[in-house]
């Protein structure tokens, strides 16, 4: 019999993510009323904001009708409209909880949230029983579906009505035993821009994860109008966009401007649409160039955007777009050092070749080592930190490019006095092409991300990097400032 006047309450189970929900049902002499699904209240109480796209109803006219045990590639919220059922759920996901069984009775005052990969089954205990499913994906013949036999001996589900007397479909009777079921792997993470310096670092950060895919521009063209169909996006949990157009000076040319907007804005808009429609986490990497560098203190995440050039404008626009979807992380960073051409390798090459460089001394900020940024991204995603915008660079005191260059010379055993500091205007005075305005203050405040990520000191990481480069004999590789 339906219990009235319960408080809305979630009860966790031994299957991770599977929760039973007590629902307030209000009854009188006319019948009863309940809020079957109330997004604001239920997400506040802990239900994932799983974004239902379809509502299904199952009607069962006789006692003992039994359905399952099915695990589909979507999350579902199941609630009884009339009658009473015995529910049994089996975790078919890869991991230590594989094969775990949870059972419970449901009536109109009790519902269940079933995460994807958990087998779902019901047996009716009253005639004319109906229950509803809210699901967050549509059926697709290309998706992977799993099931386990209702009578599996190792599961030992205590069906109230023995299965030999129950009403089952022929298909459900033929499902495999648990020993024959292949565990369902975790939803995948897709990393875009896998060939860049951050992409390479993300390969290392996720090296132990079998559910991570990497794609470069030849695998997925972010500017293609067909990007929405290049993957079955419902199979993914997160997309990390490490791809960007970063040629800040070329972006000031007509051709560069088009490419910058196509990659940093148009493509990001499409990724945001895909993420929003499929409930994905979207991670997008941003830049200190969204600010004009005029503040006397490090920039916080909520400071007003004021980009000086085209590149900064496109990154700021991308930030605004990504911020509109529910599940997002925007990582603002600066002065990235990773594999390939970079400032440190340029200084090492100049030092070895006996060239005395002029380096700007009026731009101040902190280095960001790509390996540390990659780990920060993984930490945010793995630990489900609150969604939003985070600054990340390495720690320590902000310095100028010239001070960094002198430190590189010193660490490599060269005379730091060979580095001459010049203003940004002096440095670019002989440039033949367009030059983008640079923010003079690129320092970012790191307080928000500190609880969720280790922030190694920038100068200590620089020393490790230089010593590794010199030891490997790779310092002859050039780069650009």
Catalytic residues: 70, 133
What are 346's two structure tokens?
């340029």
3-class DSSP assignment, residue 268: helix
The answer to whether 15 touches 100, Cβ cutoff 8 Å, is yes
Conformational region of residue 384, where left means phi above 0, alpha means psi within -120 to 50, and beta covers everything else: left
Residue 69: asked if its preceding bond is cis (omega within 30°), the reply is yes
Q: Which helix (H) or strand (E) holds 56?
A: strand 54-60
Strands (E), 195-350: 212-215, 236-241, 281-287, 328-333, 336-337
The secondary structure of 320-386 as a DSSP string is HHHTTSSSEEEEEE-SEE-SSS-HHHHHHHHHHTT---EEE-S-EE--EEHHHHHHHHHHHHHTTPP
The secondary structure of 411-423 as a DSSP string is HTTS-GGG-EEE-
The answer to whether 446 touches 385, Cβ cutoff 8 Å, is no
* Neighbour count for residue 196 (Cβ, 10 Å): 22
The span from the CA of 159 to the CA of 201, in Å, is 51
The answer to whether 168 touches 190, Cβ cutoff 8 Å, is no
């Amino acid at each position: 019999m339906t219990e009235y006047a319960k408080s809305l309450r979630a009860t966790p189970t031994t299957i991770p993510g599977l929760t039973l929900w007590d629902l307030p049902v209000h009854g009188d002499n006319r019948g009863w009323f309940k809020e079957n699904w109330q997004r604001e209240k239920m997400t506040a109480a802990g239900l994932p904001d799983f974004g239902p796209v379809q509502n299904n109803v199952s009607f069962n006219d006789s006692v003992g009708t039994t359905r399952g045990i099915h695990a589909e590639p979507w999350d579902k919220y199941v609630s009884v409209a009339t009658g009473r059922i015995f529910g049994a759920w089996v975790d078919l996901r890869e991991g230590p909880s594989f094969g775990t069984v949870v059972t419970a009775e449901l009536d109109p005052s009790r519902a269940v949230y079933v995460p994807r990969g958990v087998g779902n089954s019901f047996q009716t205990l009253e005639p004319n029983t109906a229950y509803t499913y809210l699901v967050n994906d549509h059926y697709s013949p290309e998706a992977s579906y799993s099931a386990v036999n209702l009578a599996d001996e190792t599961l030992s589900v205590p069906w109230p009505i023995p299965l030999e007397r129950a009403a089952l479909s022929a298909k459900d009777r033929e499902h495999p035993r648990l020993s024959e079921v292949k565990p369902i792997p975790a939803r995948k993470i897709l990393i875009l821009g896998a060939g860049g310096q951050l992409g390479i670092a993300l390969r290392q950060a996720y090296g132990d994860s079998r559910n991570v895919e990497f794609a470069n521009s030849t695998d997925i063209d972010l500017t293609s109008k067909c990007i929405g169909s290049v993957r079955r996006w419902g199979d993914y949990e997160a997309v990390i966009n490490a791809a960007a157009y970063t040629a800040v000076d070329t972006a000031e040319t007509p051709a560069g401007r088009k490419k910058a907007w196509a990659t940093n804005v148009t493509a990001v808009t499409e990724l945001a649409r895909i993420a929003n429609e499929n409930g994905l986490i979207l991670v997008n990497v941003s830049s200190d160039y969204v600010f004009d560098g005029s503040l006397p203190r490090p920039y916080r995440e909520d400071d007003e955007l004021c980009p000086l050039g085209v590149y900064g404008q496109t990154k700021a626009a991308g930030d605004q777009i990504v911020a509109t979807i529910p599940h997002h992380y925007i990582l603002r960073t600066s002065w990235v050092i990773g594999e390939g051409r970079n400032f440190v390798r340029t200084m090492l090459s100049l030092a070895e070749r006996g060239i005395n460089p002029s380096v700007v001394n009026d731009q101040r900020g902190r280095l960001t080592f790509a390996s540390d940024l990659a780990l920060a991204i993984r930490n945010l995603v793995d630990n489900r930190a609150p969604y939003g915008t985070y600054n990340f660079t390495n720690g320590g005191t902000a310095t100028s490019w010239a001070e960094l260059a002198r430190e590189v010379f010193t660490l490599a055993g060269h005379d730091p006095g060979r580095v001459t500091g010049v203003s940004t205007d002096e440095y670019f005075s002989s440039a033949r092409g367009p030059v983008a305005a640079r923010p003079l203050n690129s320092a970012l405040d790191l307080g928000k991300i500190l609880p969720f990520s280790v922030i190694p000191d920038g100068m200590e990481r620089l020393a490790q990097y230089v010593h590794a480069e010199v030891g490997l004999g790779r310092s002859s590789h050039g780069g650009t400032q």
